[in-house]
Every structure is written in C-alpha cells, then in structure tokens.
Amino acid sequence: MKTSTSRVSGKALLIMAVAALATPKLMAQDEGVRFGIKLAPNMSWFKSDTKGLENDGSKIGYTVGLVTEFPIGTEGNYRFATGLFLNAVGGKYFQAFSFTENNQQLTKDLSSDISLQYVQIPLTMKLMTKEIGYMRYYGQLGFDASFNVKAKADFDDVVIDPTTQAITFVKQDKEDIKDNIQPIRAGLVFGAGLEYNFSGSTTLQAGITYNNGLTNLLKKVEVVDANGNAKKAKLLQNFLELNLAIFF
C-alpha cells in the first residue's frame, strides 16, 4: 500500500510540476482582446491634383478615442487593430483666380485655411515582435474610413457687382463649408513604434503613423484657368501623427 501511495503521490507531483511550468507559457500565449485610450497630436496638409490649386501650409491637430486590438493566432504577434476616434485635421491651400480689370488680365491667389473634424474608424493589421525585456516593437498597415462631422474655413471670397461687374475680394472668417466637403474620406495607414509593459496588461504605446488620403476632399469646388475654363478641384488630405496610447 505504501508503494502504491508513493507512486500515486509521485505522479501527482509530476503533473503539478508540469502544469506549473506550462502555465506561464499558456498565459503568455493567451493575449486576449485589448482596449485602450489613444491621444495623438498630428500635423496635416493638403496635396493638390489640380493645376491652379496649390498647398499653402500645414496645420496642427489631434486624434483621440478608444483603440481596440484583436489577437490573430496564439502568439499575440499578429493583431487586428481598430477603434473609434475623433480626428481633427486641416490645411491651407490657394487657387489662382483670373479676372479682367481696366482692360488688363490679372490673377490673384485666393487662400483658404480649413479646419476639419471626422469620426475615424481605422482597419489595420499590426505585426509585433516578441517581448524583448519589457519592450515590443511593431509595424502597422491598413485602411482608414473617416466621416466628416464639421468643416470650417477662413477664405478669400469673390463678390461681383451685378450691375457694374466690378470685382471685390472679401475675407470670410469661420464659415461653415460642410456642403463643400465630401462626407467620407478614405486613406492608407502606415505606422511603426514600440510598446512598454509596466505590469500585467498595462502597456504604453508610442509610435509614428502616416495617413495618406485616397479620396477627393472637395465637392462643388471648381478652378477657373486664365482662358475661363472651369474644372473640378481635387484635393487630398494627408497627415502625420505621434501615436500615444495606453492599454489596460
């Protein structure tokens, strides 16, 4: 009986020892869904695809909201990363306006300073290294869909007197231009950075993200050349952000 009991006890101890050694590995593999908060200052600008329409400077903005990551596989090195953000971007541009005054053909650059807000939903893949010390490094690639909720602008307006046809240039401030902005913006997302694990599931992320606009920002906007020919204006929105997030 003593021999049998000893064998059973020995087997139990062996099973417990194997389980104890395996548990950390299993826990490390089971990363689970992560939730966090993102705050990212950004620098945004416009890129013109229309002759006579030119970028005229950048603006500082921000992105803030909830970030969520879903693991793919058991190692936690591949993740589907998404979220729900408020994205504030903008930019400056000018367009050449040709007109006749005192029998002279003249051209004036009309400037626009635009501030935009979007509800942003990124759909990206995040590729991560294994933990090196307390650090992990990542690369990120994907698609961004944004929905415009606010559009304001300071711009030079052209007023033509219906009687004399005299042209006056008027500066408009903080005007609502939502009707001239496309409701949906699409872009490609490229990013890289690192994560530092404080303890448990609490992780700080820092990185750089570049968002390259794919769709025209403007609607109902035309550029008139020196010959009086009008063409649809095409303007793309790009921005670079410092991606800061904390996962809980």
CB-hemisphere CA count at 13 Å for 192?
0
| pLDDT, tens digit (0-9, with 9 covering 90-100), for 32-79 | 899 999 999 999 999 998 888 899 999 999 999 999 999 998 777 899
Which uninterrupted H or E stretch holds 28? helix 2-29
Which uninterrupted H or E stretch holds 213? strand 202-213
Confidence of residue 227 (pLDDT cuts 50, 70, 90): low
The secondary structure of residue 181, as a DSSP letter, is B
- Evaluate whether 172 touches 152 at the Cβ level (below 8 Å): no
Residue type, position 63, single letter: T
Q: Average pLDDT for residues 12-36, to the nearest whole number?
A: 50
Collapsing DSSP to helix, strand or coil, 9 comes out as helix
Q: Average pLDDT for residues 209-228, to the nearest whole number?
A: 85
| pLDDT, tens digit (0-9, with 9 covering 90-100), for 111-129 | 999 999 999 999 999 999 9
Most confident of 11-15, 161-165, 173-177, 198-202: 173-177
Measured distance CA(63)–CA(122) in Å, rounded = 12
| pLDDT, tens digit (0-9, with 9 covering 90-100), for 188-199 | 999 999 999 988
| CB atoms closer than 10 angstroms to residue 130 | 10
Measured distance CA(111)–CA(96) in Å, rounded = 9
pTM score, whole prediction: 0.80
- Evaluate whether 70 touches 79 at the Cβ level (below 8 Å): yes
- Evaluate whether 164 touches 177 at the Cβ level (below 8 Å): no
Question: How are the residues of the chain apportioned to helix, strand and coil, as percentages rounded to the nearest 5?
Answer: 10, 70, 20
What backbone torsions phi and psi does residue 41 show, to the nearest 5 degrees?
Answer: -65, 145
Q: What are the tokens at 25?
A: 């590995």
Write down the domain spans for the chain. 1-30, 32-247
Q: What are the tokens at 96?
A: 């050449």
- Tell me which residue of 158, 163, 139 sits closest to 222, measured CA to CA: 158
CATH T-level assignment (fold) for domain 32-247? Porin (2.40.160)
